[in-house]
Structure 1
């Protein structure tokens, strides 16, 4: 009897937490719908991101939303992006591979150069600021920080701030310059097709994430579904897209989780560093955009595609932006995937080298 009575408060607590979570996502869906009605770019991601960020910073959301919701959003977006890797698109990506490597290298060099200036202004270790500025995922940055004895919280906050700022800024800027797309759908979608074929897309997305996670790859729930879906599509097999509500739900989950990570305790004692990081993000975006314009002029690449391909944002977010703005999704995604494969193996030894340099200067 006592065990049963003790279990009741726990059950009520779990039910209350679930109801609260559903209410938060419902509010995020409303904010996404409102942004869509206002004609804003990428509404189903930006709306929830701004909503949960405001809730977190005001204290209404004392902890981040469950991270286990992010893989679903990534898998849906990645498998959708994989559908754009047709045989023709794959040939274009292979032909432009040297350009993609150049774009990735340019972004990395600019980020490292800017981190030197930021470290001096913020008066923090160069290794810490370089890790906060280097265009890698926040989770991978936290792992590297812990292995090098660097406090992970400010690094994660700076990385998240960078991605969130670029997710909001880049679509709005391109939207203002180029005008709104012809349709208000979040992406161009095809007919749903036969349910069995849609089940194949779901299977590829789910199995791809699990395979890459077991292999220990970075960002497995994006790269796995993307790889498997792209292989099938590039082989000439036509697969249907998800219905628009499914893709919108994936964006809501991604945007809501990203905004919820802006927890006030991460800012304590690091406001000056965060301000420097935000200013550095703006400068980095300006520098990469300027470099992208030069590369576009020299190579004949579309300038909007070049800016999205060099932007120091996350691959998931930039792929979504490319889809919404009707840019070359395959090329933008390939540019960010190339950057991941180039930078992830280099990030850890580079930060450790800078850390040894910092320690030598301190002595």
Structure 2
């Protein structure tokens, strides 16, 4: 009888052969990294709040914490965790819920007539991003599908995920997208503060209650979070583009009217507490920072081409803002917020922090999200065809 058959497998072999154990270990590591990021982000956010930059401080603090923790893991522990996509989805849902509640009483019907303008501006930015991607691919000798995914304003996580699906350079796509989103989030509040004297930023009070401990409010909070989870999870499961953000935003808008419509419920006015907004912004910032901390050692030429690409994208956003000023009666700051080629959730949060025409900015970015995500399969198909043609000619 072969003695090797009677020898019990070692723990290492069991761990290697049992995928459940590997997933559990990965989950524990991701949870530890996320906990460290949030523990670091909290004091950074409170410190930034002292500079009176408004609620957007929580995004900045999260960006710094995500970058520092991931770089620390790589340098000191030789462990390179991937950006936590689950944390970003949770952050998008919390932010969408907050934004929806803030727009629940807004007169969105007044901006419906501007939807054709929003569509035109979205197509302009999409075509501009494609043109910039083509120039970027030719100058930097980068694969054209990679270059297009890096330059089209569709969000860091979405474009990086598509690049991974097609075995393209995920790190390069994430680098360009992260530079663009971070630049927009940093620049627009600075421009508004220095150039516009009539905006009033949303003040972040560190002394006021972040969570209403009243029993009825806590019950409503748990109910709205449960409904949000039940709506957002299928959207994520079926890979609906931006389903986490859209679903939570619709719940935020319709939660109070739905409850008041029920015959056995009295007049209810519920708004998510500031803690939900802060957590959502912090998670969004952390995931952006993780894409920064996850970068391998790029050459100076790669970073230079990426910066060139981002500058051209910012210039196209400025041109779109000028077009919006010619086509509408909005002031320049509203046009800038609507056309800024940053992440939709981040830009709407900036408008909330600046307390400036939130309903217009929300509608504009929702239209752009729908336009980009609905046409994304077509664009990816065209980019792949171009990629194949250039490969054959080469």
1:37 is the counterpart of 2:50: yes
Superposed, 1:114-193 pairs within 5 Å as 114-178=132-196, 181=200, 183-185=202-204
* Structure 1 residues 176 and 148, CA gap change in structure 2 (3 angstroms): same
TM-score normalised over the length of structure 1: 0.84
- CA deviation vs aligned residue, 1:264-311 (integer Å, no higher than 9, x gap): 5x4345653343223322331232123213312431023222211111
Q: Distance in 1 between matches of 2:26 and 2:340?
A: 43
* Structure 1 residues 132 and 234, CA gap change in structure 2 (3 angstroms): farther
- CA deviation vs aligned residue, 1:109-158 (integer Å, no higher than 9, x gap): 22122222222221213332111101113333234334545333322332
* Structure 1 residues 330 and 246, CA gap change in structure 2 (3 angstroms): same
Match of 1:317 among 346, 366, 379: 346
Asked whether the equivalents of residues 36 and 43 of structure 1 are also in contact (C-alpha less than 8 Å), the reply is yes
Deviation at 1:223, TM superposition (A): 1.1
Deviation at 1:202, TM superposition (A): 2.4
Q: Which one has a bigger Cα radius of gyration?
A: 2
Runs of 5+ unmatched residues, structure 1:
none
Q: Distance in 2 between matches of 1:182 and 1:359?
A: 49
Asked whether the equivalents of residues 210 and 274 of structure 2 are also in contact (C-alpha less than 8 Å), the reply is no
* Structure 1 residues 136 and 182, CA gap change in structure 2 (3 angstroms): closer
Partner of 1:247: 277
TM-score normalised over the length of structure 2: 0.78
Superposed, 1:15-26 pairs within 5 Å as 21-26=34-39
Partner of 2:382: 353
Q: Distance in 1 between matches of 2:26 and 2:98?
A: 37
Q: Distance in 2 between matches of 1:191 and 1:48?
A: 20
Deviation at 1:218, TM superposition (A): 1.0
* Structure 1 residues 12 and 105, CA gap change in structure 2 (3 angstroms): closer
RMSD (Å) for aligned C-alpha atoms: 3.5
Q: Distance in 2 between matches of 1:89 and 1:16?
A: 45
Q: Distance in 2 between matches of 1:172 and 1:104?
A: 24
Secondary structure in structure 1 of the residue aligned to 2:325? helix
Q: Distance in 1 between matches of 2:259 and 2:109?
A: 13
Deviation at 1:334, TM superposition (A): 2.0
Superposed, 1:72-91 pairs within 5 Å as 72-86=90-104, 88-91=106-109
Deviates more, 1:322-331 or 1:152-161: 152-161
Deviation at 1:78, TM superposition (A): 0.3
Q: Distance in 2 between matches of 1:17 and 1:200?
A: 27
Superposed, 1:1-363 pairs within 5 Å as 21-41=34-54, 42-57=56-71, 59=75, 62-64=80-82, 66-86=84-104, 88-178=106-196, 181=200, 183-185=202-204, 194-195=216-217, 196-232=219-255, 239-264=269-294, 266-269=295-298, 271-362=300-391, 363=393
Asked whether the equivalents of residues 127 and 352 of structure 1 are also in contact (C-alpha less than 8 Å), the reply is no
Q: Distance in 2 between matches of 1:133 and 1:296?
A: 24
Secondary structure in structure 2 of the residue aligned to 1:300? coil
Deviation at 1:69, TM superposition (A): 2.2
Asked whether the equivalents of residues 96 and 245 of structure 2 are also in contact (C-alpha less than 8 Å), the reply is yes
Deviation at 1:326, TM superposition (A): 0.5
Q: Distance in 1 between matches of 2:188 and 2:303?
A: 20
Q: Distance in 1 between matches of 2:86 and 2:167?
A: 27
* Structure 1 residues 24 and 155, CA gap change in structure 2 (3 angstroms): closer
